[in-house]
Amino acid sequence: MLSHLSLLMKTTFLLSLIPAALLSLASCNTASEVSGPLAVRSTRFLFKPLGVKLHNRLETTSTALGDPHGTKKGQRFQNEPTLLHLAANEFYFEQSTNQPFAFTSHLVTRNHKPWTIKPMSMLTTGATVPRMFWSVKGFGAMDFAKSAVIHDWLFEAHHRWCIAYYTADSSEASSRRLSHQTLRELKDYADPALQKNLLDALAKGTLKNVSASEQKRLHTEIKSGHTLSIVEAADIMMECIDWEMCQCEAFVKRLEELVKSKKTEAGRTLSDGEIYGIQAIIKDLKHVTHSSITLAQWHWSIRSFVAKKYWNSERGGAKAGHASSDLTISALKESGLFKRAQESGYLSANAISRLSSPSSTYETIAAPTRVRAYEALSREAEAVKSNAESVSVLVPTGDERTMRVQAKTIY
């Protein structure tokens, strides 16, 4: 009895120290640095079953492609992304016309074929990970930079399509044409529920300000498109990260062989300083080598309830989490911030010239036109969503109140 009482008292005393320890950590600004990694690492066992499931899916896909060991994974990414430093942890992804950066997904297909995703130019912050988690292996903002660009584009394209959806029957002819152009361009990124509503409206010919022939043509051209759910976005991101992990792992193996042999391919003996430098690189790269549990944590976080509020944003086109980056670039140009950045030496002259002047990109609409278009379309999308009559014309349901709730919760 006394031994049990003694154990209880010791346990109570130790528990009482926890709040004091947390307060001490907070007072020295280390609580987030400690609690973040601990929160991720302590839940790893919960993600093990999902990790096994995702790993098996990737292996099954590779086997079906005749690539059981994943040796062809290097063919998934095409070319390298060009990231212009804009501000701290803020980059402008500039798509190339001659060598476009792209990723081919085999998990999420189009017409039963691998889907090659080619992002358009946009702003990106890398992986949207809270700073408190950056010190966790595989959770740095730029640990998987290529994957982050693809991920950001999936959100951006989804939001751009939604902006065009709400302005498909604009009274302005120029806005209406650009909306339809966007619906055609980004038809593979459409919101599932909104696409169904739009196709129904086009089939019935109920869009205002749009001729019957144009509605019929638009219906024919976009009905062959696909929709993109947040779960599919998570699948694609996981597939991207899996590739980067495998490539990193292979690179680490080559570097370890180099350190072990202590000689270059030409036969020159490496100095102690060179070996130390290579070992430092190996240590950093091992943070992002392959782990099915890390894949599971990424997959869950991308389709979690937190991410959904950005995917189906209620805040409107221009205010949504990822859309529309062209508006930000436009605002920076108009307010002279690029010029000030150049004068202060913060941005290079090369970056200034590439951001300030219209560049030839993968986009089928010229950059200046697209910037003006999204600025106008975003304002119209906001007006449509706040006007029940306009929305009910776009999405006829017979129940105006139900329609308003549906439109607001979907986007």
Report the phi/psi class of residue 101: left, alpha or beta, with left for phi > 0 and alpha for psi in -120 to 50.
Answer: beta
Does pLDDT of 66 surpass 70?
Answer: no
pLDDT on residue 324: 52
Neighbours of 95 (CB within 10 A): 23
Does pLDDT of 361 surpass 60?
Answer: no
Categorize the per-residue pLDDT at 142 as very low, low, confident or very high, splitting at 50, 70 and 90.
confident
Burial status of residue 377 (CB atoms within 10 A of its CB: 0-12, 13-18, 19 or more): buried
Categorize the per-residue pLDDT at 172 as very low, low, confident or very high, splitting at 50, 70 and 90.
confident
Does pLDDT of 20 surpass 60?
Answer: no
Does pLDDT of 202 surpass 90?
Answer: yes
pLDDT tens-digit readout, 67-78: 544 445 546 899
Which whole number is the average pLDDT over 350-366?
A: 57
pLDDT tens-digit readout, 248-283: 888 889 999 999 999 888 889 999 999 999 999 998
pLDDT on residue 29: 41
pLDDT on residue 63: 55
Does pLDDT of 95 surpass 60?
Answer: yes
Residue 114's H or E segment, with its range, is strand 113-117
- Comparing 45-54, 154-163, 276-285, 396-405, the range with the smallest average pLDDT is 396-405
Hey, which residues does 85 pair with through a beta bridge?
91
State the chain's mean pLDDT as an integer. 74
Q: Considering only residues 53 and 153, tell me which one the structure prediction assigns the higher pLDDT.
A: 153
Residue 390's H or E segment, with its range, is helix 388-394
Report the phi/psi class of residue 111: left, alpha or beta, with left for phi > 0 and alpha for psi in -120 to 50.
Answer: left
Helices 337-344, 325-334: inter-axial angle, 10-degree rounding: 70
Q: What is the pTM of this model?
A: 0.75
Q: Are strands 102-110 and 82-87 parallel, antiparallel or unpaired?
A: unpaired
